[in-house]
A and B are shown apart, each in its own frame.
Chain A
Amino acid sequence: MSALLSVEGLGISFGGLRAVHDVSFAVKPGEILSVIGPNGAGKTTLFNMISGVYRPGAGRVMLNGEDVTAMRPDLLARRGMSRTFQNLQIFQNMTVLENAIAGFHLTESGSLMADLLRLPASRARARTAREGAMRLLERVGLERAAETDAGNLSYGRLKRLEIARALALDPKVLLLDEPAAGCNAVETEEIDHMIAEVAASGVAILLVEHDMKMVMRISSHIVVLDHGEKIAEGDPATVSRDPKVIAAYLGAEAGEETDA
């Protein structure tokens, strides 16, 4: 099967700092590709370029055979790309349920007049979105918090709300930036299962995560970044044995010891 999302020679500099340089990889439908690397390796910057938040200085992003480099996030959403943020992008003034419903924005669109007059078609669409949102909240275990203001949720629960909203878009490609951050072991495992499930349904998943156990367990493919460059790539077993990877994580000396 051909790649759904591919990144070719992507790079960006901030002032003199080369944050990401010449990174390429591809994700197929149903695959989970994890991007790992030490703090400051450029993982989130890479995500921001792919999802249109930053304009790349070099390279291009291809989605489903179309060049989508530096395209606005709302246009990417229309083309089936959805993402979550490490530092959360939640509608703080809305309830949990309203946040999830917002994810159905694109499927809910109808005529202005029908909405104003509350015609049956418009009500039916609103009901579908509400039911869909409720199902997603159940899936991430937030159904009982549905009427709570999103601003009052803990970080871990907001992460799950953001995942629910991203899934509401019914994406073809899903970018998850540290989905398990701030979650306890049980919650992490739940998110684990959920991601595997979503991938199994044919979605290409791109994951940034610090929980190595999780990454090793669910990834089909891993890309390792260090100082903005790709230093290794392959399946979990290969990558975890790669001396360059071990060196990047533990420092050069430890890497040499493992070599010996």
Chain B
Amino acid sequence: MSELLQFLFSGLTVGAVYALVALGFTIIYNASDVVNFAQGEFVMLGGMLTVFTYAAGLPLPLAALIAVLVTAGVGVALNKLAIEPARGAPVVSLIIITIGASIFLRGGAQVLFGKQIHRFPSFSGDTPFRIGGATILPQSLWVFAGGIAIFIGLYLFFTRTLTGKAVLATSNNRLAAQLVGINTNWVMTLSFALSAGIGALAGVLITPITNTSYDVGIALALKGFAAAMLGGMGNPKGALAGGLLLGVIEAMTAGYLSSQYKDAAAFIVILLVLFIMPQGLFGAKQTERV
């Protein structure tokens, strides 16, 4: 029993990070139909930039804030320099551009930060709490809290604010949104900033547990993508559920089967989703109006 609980805790922790990556996918996908494969690099940049600003002597919260803001800036640059000039190109081309951007960012990070593994200390110590025979790190609680805060923040943003509604309107019908006076270029920029910032925050939260290096983004992007597919691409609730579920599936696979198969779990999930329910758990059924 305590073993199961332990797996559940570690699964939910890593799942919360997958959920945040999946949320990042969701935001950009909704605004532009593009699946942004540089999403994992945003997570890497978040952790990495915190490592170096922290090492430069800044207090950790400030270092984290700078990392999130700089990464959001990178997201905006990606949109302005690579996506916007290709406006009108088929979505597949845009997706390939994001794969290129991801390779570029990874290469840049390798040159800038080196190939070593980096880390910074946990936010509030490493003394684990004991719950029902299992242990949980204080940093895991930070990951949960961060994930929940972002999810609630996004929910309020999209349901209450005019800007949030403008993003939803743009995702629903770009031309109609322009007709009512919504600046859809600004909506795109905002989506990339938001998505990159959320990715960076995920990186900041998880790095004390998993450490970071220039190439952690690939695996995270894949897992986040699997989570978003599982939940239903484009649905924020689906991203959350898909992320947590995938994290738990992975942890259970690692615990009860073999940790060697841990990474296979995500791929099997993608395959099963595509075979059995391509629209995902929460995805809308596609119907064409005739």
Contact = CB atoms under 8 A, between A and B. Distances in A.
B160 A77 contact: no
Given A83-B179, A105-B166, A94 B160 contact: no
A105 B180 CA distance: 6
Interface residues of B, number: 23
Interface stretch (B129-137, B140-148, B169-177): B169-177
B181 A115 contact: no
Given A53-B175, A92-B172, A77 B181 contact: yes
Contacts of B160: 115-116, 118
Nearest to A104: B180
B93 interface: no
Contact of B181 (A78, A85, A118): A78
Interface string A69-108: 0001111011000110100011111100000001101101
Contact of A151 (B156, B162, B179, B289): B289
B265 to A, nearest CB: 33
**Which of A77, A92, A102, A168 has its CB near the most chain B CB atoms (within 10 A)?**
A102
Nearest to B181: A77
B163 A74 contact: no
A73 B181 CA distance: 7
A74 B181 contact: yes
A73 B163 contact: no
Contacts of A169: 180-181
B172 A105 contact: no
B179 A92 contact: no
Nearest to B160: A115
Contacts of A166: 179
B209 interface: no
Interface string A151-175: 1000000000000011011000000
B181 A105 contact: yes
A74 B161 contact: no
A65 interface: no
Nearest to A106: B181
B173 A92 contact: yes
B180 A77 contact: yes
Given A89-B173, A102-B169, A116 B181 contact: no
B178 A92 contact: no
B79 interface: no
A94 B180 contact: no
Nearest to A73: B178
**Which of B176, B180, B184 has its CB near the most chain A CB atoms (within 10 A)?**
B180
A238 B163 CA distance: 50
Given A105-B182, A106-B181, A169-B181, A89 B166 contact: no
Interface string A183-223: 00000000000000000000000000000000000000000
Given A112-B161, A112-B163, 11 more contacts: A74-B178, A77-B181, A90-B173, A102-B169, A105-B169, A105-B182, A106-B180, A106-B181, A110-B162, A115-B161, A115-B162
21 contacts: A53-B175, A72-B183, A73-B178, A74-B181, A74-B182, A74-B183, A77-B178, A77-B181, A82-B179, A85-B175, A91-B172, A91-B173, A92-B172, A102-B169, A102-B180, A105-B166, A105-B169, A106-B180, A112-B163, A115-B163, A116-B156
